[in-house]
Structure 1
């Protein structure tokens, strides 16, 4: 079964209305062989904050060394986001395999009049996936309520009810007490229910659940106390005190309500066991969660928050009050079944309101939203927009640098707005018919079309993720000017995204873009993004090293690096090595004090600093940029104080402070795609398409660095050859390296003497120089801005040769 068939089948289950009760889900799991019986379950319910809390729990448990599955809802762009294993979304192949087994069961149940709903089926997908991946713990967010939710077909070891407000009265009850009773029914058998509920809701929770573990402020007579230490930059300080343990950390999720969620998450993790206060502190600081008071820009301040009820809107108002700004521009849309008047009343007064409608069948009309805002009586100008992107465009145009733009009201609103920052177009190439067919085969573009365009010298192939209606219009316009387009066969809901692969000459793209610009604001936004990508593909990346590929020389001051470990341990030897790298043509020297080879031991921070800093200090006056290869923010800070110019983080900002250090010192940072550092040779990572999956993962890490205050020109992306990829996947990354330029960042490739070259009969590291040089030339031709190598002279010659072949006119030999 193809993925599009599987996705269409699951989306088709939306035609069956939601229902209460766990029996259908249990019956489905029994049909699948009762997967997950041995998995430890953390179940998180509540009215607000359950998704953020679940993400915090997952991050802390992973920090403690557990393999963790995470099941949340809804998704922003792709249903696979709902099911994650150690942070990675479930693969398309796994979804296809699951649905192939599910389909006969659904057909049989349909005859009996009781087929599974979409949520029940995806819940079973999550459990089945976690079972197949052999996770240690699964963190499961409740959908609606608790007692009768599909997730309650599972038996949690620990559980939480974050809080209780009036919601879903048609399913859960008309009073706080009725809703609290339903939510508290998820209480585990052998552990207390963790909760931050208050008042009458708390009384009912205690009565229903029995033993409870209360999270609250210092004056709340709580078992776990939480103190909000306020916002500093893009982080929220928090202190958490439990029974014999204490944590002081910072959260990437802003707001005092997130401090409370952090307390709940910490309590749940302590109940699971094997979790230290240090694990909690670092895990909480790494718990990023898109669309929850997410600061996307600073000038003006742009905030996205999926708040969708009065309580969460009040939280936005409180958090936004900690920022200074002149005027507030509110981009607001909501679902028709929400208490929109109370949501509007809870939000801060706005100088301008942009009422909009997300592309979702339950969404409130912008005219109705505008009428409610007008009735509230606190807003300035009020405008109406048919789409979120049009509303956001107007807000961005109108806002001054010292203003604030707040986008909220629904996660569906946030999802559409966030795509402006998170979903790049990806430009590939046609080097020959076979390569293009492989690239375009993912969207079923014919080989004949590829051959025809290859013969004409066309090399622009753009992969886009857009909404179905946008994809249809793009296809129509590109075909009308003689281009080619194929749209994914996934019959996604209108607010989700589908893949479209576009093929044509630049002139064909330009003519299609003219038509798209005239097709309304929603299409104009897509056209503008596509135009930026095509322009970027036409030009060179802007780097401090000019247009040509720079060579970064490797200087390992370690005893155990895979190729040159132990050769340059003394400062004198290291400086001598650095001088030779510089004389050979290195424009950057990368100093590393900890090996990342498979099985390498972790080096303590103080010891790594002792190895690195004297060398950096000695090189500070040399005519070369000095990079420090470290995954520890404390080492990075010490090296920068000693004179380093660049940070090279092979963990991809795993240390939550690394991005903040780079922004504080305003230096470039290399962000590498890495599953585990050091590399675990036993890890088996599944990719649907290693290039696409790696770009998607890097896009989120780039956003983290950007939100810390760095420009994309300072964020250097590294595909991570040799880190969690097979030999085939490493060569795929190298061959399609140009696609990484679509992230809008300089690109670094680290391939020197790696084991991938065993595939070309180069068994030992000492035998891999020729293969490395060949790969360097290929990387330079594919648009790499930096190559990181041990052997500088030979690789400088390779990149110069590639540059000469690309632009022969630079050499005047007459």
Structure 2
């Protein structure tokens, strides 16, 4: 079964109404051999904050060395986001496998008048996937309520209710007490149960937990676990202190707002209970790192500054009130509110709880349940708002708000996670220039993009100068497709026909066709002008390399980065340059051979390498950097530790090369403060775990998608896009075949809007072509030539002289071709 068939089948289940109870999902789990019996679970319910608490819990456990599953809802762009292991989304192949296996059962149930819902099937799929991949523990965010939620088909080790407000009263109950009882029913027998509830809700939670012989661990002021919000550190982070009976944790977290201190404390309490119940281990250091790395998109997410652009999925009055409190900690002049909500929400109470805005634009997210913008505008008018407008789409609403705001203002988008999802998609969208040398490659590309057979046959024959891939809404796909055909090109649209996630489209045509497409889309609304900018930006970059203003060596041609490892155990030159004089002599030799950059590393990342302390790494690299700082070359520090990078910059380095992709949050802060270029590499593990197998659908597309989020994190920290360089990480969590695919399609990484680095020197991937460790120079040079021809901006190698020659030959050939053409 192809993914688009599985996705269409899955999203079609949304037509079935929710019916409380776990019997149906339990029967589906039995159909796939009861995977819930093989996984340890944490279950988290609540009216607000349950997603943030789940993410923080998962992040702490990952930092503590465990393989962790995370199940959340809803998704922003693709259903795959709901099911993650160690941060990576479930693969398309796994979804296809699950639906293929369960479809006969699901069809039979539907035919009998007892269908399963979309949420029930996705929940079962998540549980199945966690068992299949052998996670150490899985964190489940409860969907609706608790006792009758699909996630309650499992028996959790421990559970949590974050808080209780009046919500979904038609299903959960008419009072706080009734809702609290429903949510608390997830409490496992004879185990501690964590809660941040207070007052009447807490009394009910205690009563329910006592009924199953459990004990309650309370979180809040004066409770067993006490959180303190220490305030905002910067525009994206705040500081919290959490006191438990065992320890006191002070940590920065990537969220703002006093309520996030409570969520963090709930997560710490859950981890401590898991330790007591099942022997899991953590430390104050892993807890702090876990909390600081617990990014949660769309929850008071500050994605831009000057003006502030803030996304928050507040969807009920309590969440809107909390949003207002958090917003009050920022300084700005005028507030421009973009609001869209579902029709079953309490709009009057939500609007009343929001801060007063200077301008309001109401809009309609692309969902059947979305409320009419005109109705929402009436609510704002009745509440006293003076400048209220409506927009047909979320994109148009954002454009209107931008037109009214100056750099000292704040634009806030809220009311629904579905609205936030559309905005976030627009902000993070990429258009990828695909390399299509022949019809066979075109057919492969179309298959990966989930096109049907007829489309593949037609489209593969039409591929001409440029082929661009991107994801858009179904409405946008229809307009773009028609416009591209009129412009003289062609467009293929993925087979995912339901509106549950975005559609992949492939555009092909000459530069002239794309120019006409750009002109046509610039006249359209629904966010199509910004999409046109992204598409045409890739075409212009492909046709002519544009010089940047930074005067870096990679701005105008491919730069050579020479490797200088001052370590005793690096895989290729370990131990050769540990001595200071030897390192200095090698640096001078690399410069003479034509290196534009020297990359100095003091810790090996080869498989099986032993980590070294910050002090040891600094002692190895700082004297070398200081000794060569007068050379006419850029100096890069190859490190994953912010303290090491800071010492290196102080000694004279001017580039940070981070093999973890800025996993250390302090590295992002340091790079922003120092305003230096940063290389963000994609890596699953550092050092590499050679035994770990990663389930990629398409390694290139998957790595681009994961780097896209890393780039956004860097930008939110204040690092300018033009200072970011991306590295797909050949060999880091990839097989030899996958590394060669990345090398062949390296140009696609320009979709991220950053220069691209390729590091392939003497790597084990060349064993795939029968080159052993001592015989990989020729293969490295060949790969350098290929990468340069494919558009790589930086080549990282040990042997500068030979690889410099390869780069120069490619550039000479390309320039000669340009002269002839002219």
TM range (shorter): over 0.9
> Which residue of the other structure, out of 444, 455, 473, is the alignment partner of 1:438?
444
Aligned residues: 803
Secondary structure at the aligned position of 1:600 is classed as coil
> Which residue of the other structure, out of 483, 495, 517, is the alignment partner of 2:522?
517
Residue ranges of structure 2 left out of the alignment (5+ in a row): 276-280
Q: CA–CA distance in 2 between the matches of 1:432 and 1:26?
A: 49
How far does residue 194 in structure 1 lie from its aligned partner after superposition? 0.6
> Which residue of the other structure, out of 573, 578, 582, is the alignment partner of 1:573?
582
Query: Residues 432, 627 of structure 1: CA spacing in aligned structure 2 closer, same or farther, 3 A cutoff?
Result: same
Task: Work out whether 1:423 is the aligned partner of 2:424.
Answer: no
How is 1:143-542 mapped onto 2 (pairs within 5 angstroms)? 143-210=143-210, 211-217=214-220, 220-233=221-234, 234-273=236-275, 274-377=281-384, 379-443=385-449, 444=451, 445-446=455-456, 449-453=459-463, 458-493=464-499, 496-540=501-545, 542=548
Q: CA–CA distance in 1 between the matches of 2:483 and 2:493?
A: 13
Query: Residues 600, 514 of structure 1: CA spacing in aligned structure 2 closer, same or farther, 3 A cutoff?
Result: same
In 2, are the aligned partners of 1:60 and 1:280 still within 8 Å (CA)?
yes
1:294-317 CA distance string (max 9 Å, x none):
111111111011111111111211
In 2, are the aligned partners of 1:157 and 1:189 still within 8 Å (CA)?
no
1:316-347 CA distance string (max 9 Å, x none):
11111111111111111111111111111111
In 2, are the aligned partners of 1:804 and 1:810 still within 8 Å (CA)?
no
Q: CA–CA distance in 2 between the matches of 1:119 and 1:614?
A: 58
Secondary structure at the aligned position of 2:527 is classed as helix
> Which residue of the other structure, out of 578, 594, 608, is the alignment partner of 1:585?
594
Q: CA–CA distance in 2 between the matches of 1:536 and 1:46?
A: 48
How far does residue 731 in structure 1 lie from its aligned partner after superposition? 0.6
In 2, are the aligned partners of 1:143 and 1:151 still within 8 Å (CA)?
yes
How far does residue 380 in structure 1 lie from its aligned partner after superposition? 3.8
Name the residue aligned to 2:777. Answer: 769
In 2, are the aligned partners of 1:804 and 1:811 still within 8 Å (CA)?
no
How far does residue 440 in structure 1 lie from its aligned partner after superposition? 3.1
Query: Residues 791, 110 of structure 1: CA spacing in aligned structure 2 closer, same or farther, 3 A cutoff?
Result: same
Q: CA–CA distance in 2 between the matches of 1:782 and 1:341?
A: 56
How is 1:623-662 mapped onto 2 (pairs within 5 angstroms)? 623-662=632-671
In 1, are the aligned partners of 2:187 and 2:209 still within 8 Å (CA)?
yes
1:41-91 CA distance string (max 9 Å, x none):
000100001111111111111111111111100000101110111111100
In 2, are the aligned partners of 1:431 and 1:459 still within 8 Å (CA)?
no
In 2, are the aligned partners of 1:213 and 1:223 still within 8 Å (CA)?
no
In 2, are the aligned partners of 1:293 and 1:305 still within 8 Å (CA)?
yes
Q: CA–CA distance in 1 between the matches of 2:364 and 2:218?
A: 37
How far does residue 489 in structure 1 lie from its aligned partner after superposition? 0.5
Q: CA–CA distance in 2 between the matches of 1:757 and 1:105?
A: 46
In 2, are the aligned partners of 1:332 and 1:407 still within 8 Å (CA)?
yes
In 2, are the aligned partners of 1:195 and 1:212 still within 8 Å (CA)?
no
Secondary structure at the aligned position of 2:36 is classed as coil
Q: CA–CA distance in 2 between the matches of 1:145 and 1:782?
A: 52
Secondary structure at the aligned position of 2:605 is classed as coil
Q: CA–CA distance in 2 between the matches of 1:261 and 1:152?
A: 21
In 1, are the aligned partners of 2:661 and 2:682 still within 8 Å (CA)?
yes
Residue ranges of structure 1 left out of the alignment (5+ in a row): none
TM-score in terms of structure 2 length: 0.96
Q: CA–CA distance in 1 between the matches of 2:700 and 2:457?
A: 21
1:455-512 CA distance string (max 9 Å, x none):
xxx331100101112112211221223312111111231x620111111111112222
**C-alpha RMSD of the superposition:** 1.5
In 1, are the aligned partners of 2:159 and 2:193 still within 8 Å (CA)?
yes
In 2, are the aligned partners of 1:492 and 1:498 still within 8 Å (CA)?
no
TM-score in terms of structure 1 length: 0.97
Q: CA–CA distance in 2 between the matches of 1:584 and 1:190?
A: 70
In 1, are the aligned partners of 2:563 and 2:600 still within 8 Å (CA)?
yes
How far does residue 693 in structure 1 lie from its aligned partner after superposition? 0.3
Q: CA–CA distance in 2 between the matches of 1:440 and 1:756?
A: 27
1:113-163 CA distance string (max 9 Å, x none):
212111110011001100100001010000000001010010110111000
Name the residue aligned to 1:5. Answer: 5
